[in-house]
Amino acid sequence: MGGIGILPAQVFLAFFALRAFNLAGGKGLAAAVTQDKPGFWLLCTCLWGVTGAILLPRVLSGATLVFPVDRSSQFIILQPLAPVSGNLSQSVYCVADVVVYCSMFAFLKYRGVYRTLSNAIFLLAALDVLAGVVDIVAHAAGLDILSAIKTAQFADLTGQEMAGMVRISGTFSETSGFAAFTLPIFVFCLNLWLVGYRPKLSGPLAISTGCLLLLSTSGTAYVGLGVYQFVLLVSRPGVISRFAPVRKQRLWVISACAGLLGVLYVIVFLPGVVKVLSDFVDAAILSKAGSDSGVERMGWNAQGITNFFDTYGIGVGLGSIRASSFLVVLVGSLGVVGVVCYGMFLGKSLLVPVPAHYPFTERAVCYAARHAMIATLIVASASLSVFELGSCFYIFAAAAGALSSRVPRRVPARGGWAVRGAHE
């Protein structure tokens, strides 16, 4: 449409929102963005972002140089600030994110929908694992099975190897995209296992997605896993389940022992592997900053910060710049106003305690969704080049912020579309 590709999530969003409107009405959708809800600050971010995307590239035209998000240009080069296609596409995505959030928020007011949401993420995790396994097997067999369902209009960097290992991309156009999508799902399943929610399902899915992340050869995956370990270390799953601290301690002990035994075995019996692994780590992580791609992306980030100061903290407008970090995109595009609004949205979604008067299912899924949000923000801060965090992030955000501090009046499930929770 005018050179802008329409992603499947945006196509099906129309049906998703229509179903939410039919169930809850306009009032139910608007409840997600009332002043006491996290969604209010997301709406403020969207309004500021869309307004800035329309006005700022015109009002501040030529005031600074930018690396634009522009489909009409084949090369990413510095050019004076001006309206580009990215202003339109990122504005559409931003509005769609608010619609996703409001629709999911409306669904979650019905009894049993938290369990339905967990089932959907479990299914998504299983499909993601299947795609990763198919990608590995197809590469070994010299086939290209998944190319027919990969997103069009993106450079296809699949089928590559690093240190003799296939770079897993699944249904995505490159390995980093697969890692950025899989890490939040892994974290969601892992935290559900920690609190004891359907452990026979959440545990194997966490192991499967975690193994694919380790085998993916993606620097994004390794950085994300490394940083999230610190989040997991200070997390408090005991507020959801009294058995969670024991599971968490067991997880750390088993992981530490397995890691230590693996290192000792490699050093003693397979000394040649040490050099291969060191070369692999150097290629996947340590040398990234010094590579041509790393230098280019650091240049994007430096210019994004420059754009922030050149516009005196106003920003250059949503979709006007490309960077290599979500934080830089947020600062450079939306300025001080956008940072405050989006920061309030994240703070109210993540930092408010999970209400204790809700059933276990709802509290467990809410807790896991918050950690999935954090995992998304970690990988986005490390590698994302635009403001769009994806539909899954805002579905998780709705689940993280939909539980009211007051005792709820739950709406019964309708038409068999939601399954009544086992603990309700």
| The predicted structure's pLDDT at residue 136 | 87
pTM listed for this prediction: 0.87
pLDDT digits (tens, 9 = 90+) for 86-120: 898 899 899 999 999 999 999 999 989 999 999 99
Instruction: Give the angle subtended at the CA of 47 by the CAs of 101 and 375, to the nearest 5°.
Output: 45
How confident is the model over 36-86, as pLDDT tens digits?
A: 999 999 999 999 999 999 999 999 988 888 888 877 666 678 889 899 888
CA distances from 135 to 128, 141, 150, 156, 269 (A): 11, 10, 12, 14, 31
* CA angle in degrees (0–180, nearest 5) for 70-74-80: 50
- Residue 424, in any domain of the structure: no
- Rounded to whole angstroms, what are the CA distances from 220 to 24, 214, 311? 39, 11, 31
Mean pLDDT to the nearest integer, 363-389: 93
- Give residue-wise pLDDT tens across range 180-204: 999 999 999 999 999 999 999 999 9
Q: How far apart are CA 360 and CA 358, in angstroms?
A: 7
211 lies in a domain?
yes
Q: How far apart are CA 303 and CA 296, in angstroms?
A: 11
Res 265: pLDDT:
67
- What is the pLDDT, as a whole number, of residue 421? 42
pLDDT score, position 422: 40
In a domain? residue 80: yes
Please calculate the CA angle 388-125-151 and round it to the nearest 5 degrees: 45
Give dist(CA 41, CA 420) in Å, integer.
Answer: 31
**Residue 78 maps to a domain:** yes
27 in any annotated domain: yes
- The reply to whether 43 falls in a domain is yes
Domain range for residue 118?
8-401
Provide the percentage of residues in the chain whose pLDDT is more than 90.
47
pLDDT reading at 266 higher than 70? no
319-331 pLDDT, tens digit per residue, is 888 888 899 999 9
- Give per-residue pLDDT as tens, 118-145: 999 999 999 999 999 998 888 777 777 7
- pLDDT for residue 151: 63
pLDDT at 403: 87
Least confident of 29-33, 90-94, 207-211, 402-406: 402-406
Q: Assign 17 a pLDDT band (cuts: 50, 70, 90).
A: very high
> Closest Cα to residue 355, out of 343, 342, 339, 366?
366
The count of structural domains within the chain is 1
Report pLDDT for 300.
83
pLDDT, one tens digit per residue, over 386-401 is 898 989 999 999 999 9
| Strand pairing category for 65-66 and 79-80 | antiparallel
Query: With 70 as the cut, is the pLDDT of residue 159 above it?
Result: no
Looking at the domain assignment, is residue 297 inside a domain?
yes
Question: In which band, very low, low, confident or very high, does the pLDDT at 223 lie, cut at 50, 70 and 90?
Answer: confident
In a domain, 296, yes or no: yes
